[in-house]
A and B are shown apart, each in its own frame.
Chain A
Amino acid sequence: AQSVTQLGSHVSVSEGALVLLRCNYSSSVPPYLFWYVQYPNQGLQLLLKYTTGATLVKGINGFEAEFKKSETSFHLTKPSAHMSDAAEYFCAVSEVTGGFKTIFGAGTRLFVKA
């Protein structure tokens, strides 16, 4: 069965500092991996996804994530945090074998200090 673990329900960084949000997954088959962001009073919005090919994936707003199969990880990074990055971030996994089931992590709320 698939599962997703996001380490840290809250992460606080200073503006301009590196953002690192951690995600580990469990899947018995090759996974598709996603990061979504949720701003207050809004639905989730896709930041980036990994399906196949290059393991370093670039997304919107300067975010990127690296798929590391040996570590079963898909951590999200951004070199320099902006105040507008403050939001909740969700890692998600679905199976290559098909179906419509995507498993989401519990989310990490990012705080950005001025």
Chain B
Amino acid sequence: ETGVTQTPRHLVMGMTNKKSLKCEQHLGHNAMYWYKQSAKKPLELMFVYNFKEQTENNSVPSRFSPECPNSSHLFLHLHTLQPEDSALYLCASSPPGQGSYNEQFFGPGTRLTVL
């Protein structure tokens, strides 16, 4: 596969469940991002990893736990979520170099519904 892939594409979970979102990029990029996209709101940056090190945590609640085992894979572990956490979760990656200069390549997202 090429580009940025995300699995699963759709996820329904109860508030007491634990689940994980997976993102994988085959572009040779070093930086990876998690965003939350809710209806009628700007994209919210959640986390950024550069060479597996977390560089941004945008005051995200601890019920969201990221993991970046290598530059190609990024996970978002979810536990005891709330209904307001229902959203489209987008993963992105960007090439080596100055992060803010580079375009980001996005995956198709995971549509999460919390019941």
Q: Report A's interface with B, CB cutoff 8 A.
A: 4, 9, 32, 34, 36, 41-46, 49, 51, 90, 94-107
Given that A43-B106, A45-B106 are known contacts, is A106 also in contact with B48, CB under 8 Å in the complex? no
A43 close to B109 (CB less than 8 A)? yes
Name the segment of B64-72, B74-82, B91-99 touching the other chain. Answer: B91-99
Q: Report B's interface with A, CB cutoff 8 A.
A: 4, 31, 33, 40-43, 45, 48, 50, 55-56, 90, 92, 94, 98-101, 103-109
A4 close to B42 (CB less than 8 A)? yes
Given that A42-B108, A100-B94 are known contacts, is A51 also in contact with B101, CB under 8 Å in the complex? yes
List residues of chain A with CB within 8 A of the CB of B100.
Answer: 32, 94-102
B56 close to A34 (CB less than 8 A)? no
- Cα A82 to Cα B105 in complex, Å, equals 24
Closest to B50 in A: A100
Which of B40, B56, B90, B105 is in CB contact (< 8 Å) with A100? B56
B101 close to A32 (CB less than 8 A)? yes
Given that A32-B101, A44-B90, A95-B100 are known contacts, is A104 also in contact with B107, CB under 8 Å in the complex? no
Closest to A48 in B: B103
